[in-house]
Structure 1
Amino acid sequence: MASGSNTPSPGSAELGLAGKVSIVTGSGRGLGLAYAQALAAAGAAVVVNDVDAAAADAAVELIAAEGGRAVSCTVPAGPSASAATLIDRAVEHFGRLDIFVANAGILRDTVLWKMSDDDFDTVIDVHLRGTFTGVRAAAIKMRQQGDGGRIICIGSPTGQLGNFGQTNYAAAKAGIVGMVRTWSLELARSNITVNAVVPVAATEMTRTIPALRQYVDALDRGEELPAFARRELGFGGPVDVAGLVAFLASDAAAGITGQAIGIGGDRLALWSHPSEVAVGFQDGGWDAKAIAAAWPSMFAPAHQPVGPNLPEAPK
């Protein structure tokens, strides 16, 4: 499987997911629920996972009311035992596993010098370890079945660019994208695609970002977002992200793997992989003095931006 020119167009492959079985971690509410609803609407059976049993059960009832098939599984993301339970739940109720969406996450935001070991470890355990253990279990099951599969991991702009006060979250989300690239190589021969979705949408997490809070509040009030928010900021509701997850789970995305794809509002974007942006050579190698002399003209113009760098709303 390869990306790029070999990717089939949406019209050349089946977008429906009838007969497929999926697991979505952290899907009792928010983005995870939107992913689960989109997969169910496309025909897939869904294992709804959440640490909140009431939220998971309510999500199952909602999906059933919309004509879909779902069961709940209340385990925390992170432990290997939780991942095994999720796979068992899918097989017990629906007979197999075709799609795994690693979405579960939490925040423990604070600046570096105030971040405790527990703040760091808890976020890493849920996001990074939870993605690892879940995807490992899913990959083992898909490889045993022998007919491919779809793995979709949820990244974040913070993992791509960094963000003030999010050391733990940035580390986890950057690590997830790194694992996605590695897994896409390791699982290619098994016809299992692995991709990262980088969403920008109204959630309790984005409510904490000052530039976005007004739009989260507006959506809570049932208001339409202005074009600036949907296009320039690429910001919308969870439903605006869910279509990408359903697409990546489908046969239409069979040629797409190892990619980080951003979506939000009216915006869809393919993120680049890290690459060298400036290269210099020095006969005999580089000592500190040579680097100091060359840096201003050779490398400084290629410095990369960090942080969200969101555009300002028009006055």
Structure 2
Amino acid sequence: MDLSGKVAIVTGSGQGLGRAYATELARCGASVVVNDVDATAAEACVDDIRRAGGTAVAEVVGVGTSEAAQALVDRAVSEFGRLDVLVNNAGILRDSTLWKMSDDDFDAVLTTHLRGTFTCTRAAAVRMREQGEGGRIICVGSPTGQVGNFGQTNYAAAKAGIVGMVRTWALELARAGVTVNAVVPVAATAMTETVPFFTRYVEALSAGEPLPPFARKELGFGPPEDAAGLVAFLASDAAAGITGQAVGIGGDRLSLYSHPDEIVTEFADGTGWSADAIARVWPERFAASEQTTGQQLPEEAR
């Protein structure tokens, strides 16, 4: 995959998935603006990219505000002359059950994930439209945003919102030749190392041990590097016709998520639906098609 001549911004790329994305984009030839709130982590990523023969600079700023988003775009343009790819990866966790979650915990996660994705995409879209040569915007979702997860009201809301924005932006930016897609990764990161059914596999990776096929295929779980190829692909000319999609990646598994769709439909006979009428029809026509919540794990992972 040749990304030579392309310029990319990767938010939250000082560690974990973001670092893997930035490193892979640089390996494929892109010049990369590495972003993180941790200056040491950002500079370490830049150093690794340069040692491998790539091109990168660090921009230390926390995403969320319009000013931060513009600073990232301005840095890309001042250093490399243009902007072709934006990867919205930055994120934080503030997990808690609904009845214990504070306003601050809710707002912090929404600010970084949802508002940060919005402000960075808006700034990038303005620049890409001005350039008139198209572009690639890649936003990071999560299985939690697709199906929910206990204790993650804020995170689920943000990740579901990101995929909704992706579908809208794909429509709005189509005429400009800018594609917008979401990746939905599963990988061993600081965000997953505390998840009970991943613990044994995180420990195995930390010990340098290979993961069993069950983890890599059934759970779609592996190191962050396993998810990086998808980002490089979506950033490339090979993905010029792909937009508005949510694509899952992790371990040995690649998947395409469906858009929400009506799965059962019934019609009243010109009278609308009363509560009693719904109660009569629901058990027979709808109950069997009710959707599950949370990730449905194989028995071995429970």
Q: Normalising TM by the smaller chain, what interval?
A: over 0.9
Give the letter for the 1:45 counterpart: S
1:300 to 266, 287, 293: 287
1:221-240 alignment, distance < 5 Å: 221-240=207-226
**Residue by residue, what CA displacement relative to the aligned partner does 1:78-98 show, whole Å, maximum 9, x if unpaired?**
010000000010011100000
**Aligned-pair CA distance for 1:314:** 8.0
1:57-206 alignment, distance < 5 Å: 57-206=43-192
State the partner residue of 1:274. Answer: 260
Q: Which runs of 5+ in 2 are unaligned?
A: none
Distance in 1 separating the partners of 2:299 and 2:230: 27
> 1:159/1:314 Cα in 2 relative to 1: closer, same or farther (>3 Å)?
closer
**Residue by residue, what CA displacement relative to the aligned partner does 1:123-152 show, whole Å, maximum 9, x if unpaired?**
000000000000000000000000000000
1:263 to 218, 233, 249: 249
Give the letter for the 1:106 counterpart: I
Distance in 2 separating the partners of 1:219 and 1:190: 42
**Aligned-pair CA distance for 1:312:** 2.6
State the partner residue of 2:298. Answer: 311
**Residue by residue, what CA displacement relative to the aligned partner does 1:45-98 show, whole Å, maximum 9, x if unpaired?**
000000000000000000001110000000001010000000010011100000
User: How many pairs are equivalent?
Assistant: 301
Q: Is the 8 A contact 2:197 2:301 kept in 1?
A: no
Per the normalisation by structure 1, the TM-score is 0.95
Per the normalisation by structure 2, the TM-score is 0.99
**Aligned-pair CA distance for 1:313:** 2.3
Distance in 1 separating the partners of 2:301 and 2:147: 24
Distance in 1 separating the partners of 2:280 and 2:48: 64
State the partner residue of 2:6. Answer: 20
1:278-289 alignment, distance < 5 Å: 278-283=264-269, 284-289=271-276
State the partner residue of 2:237. Answer: 251
Q: Which runs of 5+ in 1 are unaligned?
A: 1-14
Distance in 2 separating the partners of 1:17 and 1:181: 25
The runs of at least 4 consecutive aligned structure 1 residues that moved more than 3 Å come to: none
State the partner residue of 1:214. Answer: 200
CA RMSD of aligned residues (A): 1.0
Determine which structure has greater relative contact order: mean sequence separation of CA pairs < 8 Å that are 6+ residues apart, divided by chain length. 1
**Residue by residue, what CA displacement relative to the aligned partner does 1:88-133 show, whole Å, maximum 9, x if unpaired?**
1001110000000000000000100000000100000000000000
1:37 to 23, 41, 47: 23
- Aligned identity (percent) is 68
**Aligned-pair CA distance for 1:217:** 1.6
